[in-house]
C-alpha cells in the first residue's frame, strides 16, 4: 500500500536529518516508526472485560428475575 501525505518543511528537515543519522531512507524510518506506534497502541477493553470479576457477584435472592413479567412492570417509563 502506498500512502502520500504532506508535512511541514521543518518536519521534513527533521525527518531527513534523523533518517540520515540512522543510515536509513526516509521511507524506512517512517515505516519503522509507524509500525512501532501501531503496535504500542492498545485496544481499550470493553466494560464487561473490565468488570468481569464482578459479573454475577450480587444476588437479589429472586430466582425468576429473567422470566417473571411482574419484575418488568413500569420498566422504561419516565419517572419524575
pLDDT tens by residue, 52-76 = 888 777 777 888 877 888 888 887 7
Note whether 72 and 64 are within 8 A (CB). no
**Closest of 53, 9, 4 to residue 27, by C-alpha:** 4
Distances, alpha carbon 68 to alpha carbons 29, 58, 63, in Å: 63, 19, 9
The whole-number pLDDT of residue 61 equals: 80
Cell of 35: 509500525
pTM of the model: 0.52
Amino acid at each position: 500500500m502506498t500512502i502520500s501525505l504532506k508535512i511541514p518543511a521543518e518536519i521534513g528537515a527533521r525527518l531527513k536529518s534523523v533518517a540520515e543519522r540512522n543510515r536509513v531512507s526516509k521511507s524506512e524510518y517512517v515505516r519503522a516508526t509507524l509500525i512501532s506506534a501501531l503496535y504500542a497502541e492498545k485496544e481499550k477493553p470493553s466494560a464487561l472485560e473490565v468488570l468481569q470479576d464482578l459479573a454475577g457477584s450480587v444476588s437479589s435472592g429472586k430466582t425468576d428475575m429473567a422470566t417473571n413479567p411482574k419484575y418488568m412492570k413500569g420498566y422504561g417509563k419516565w419517572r419524575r
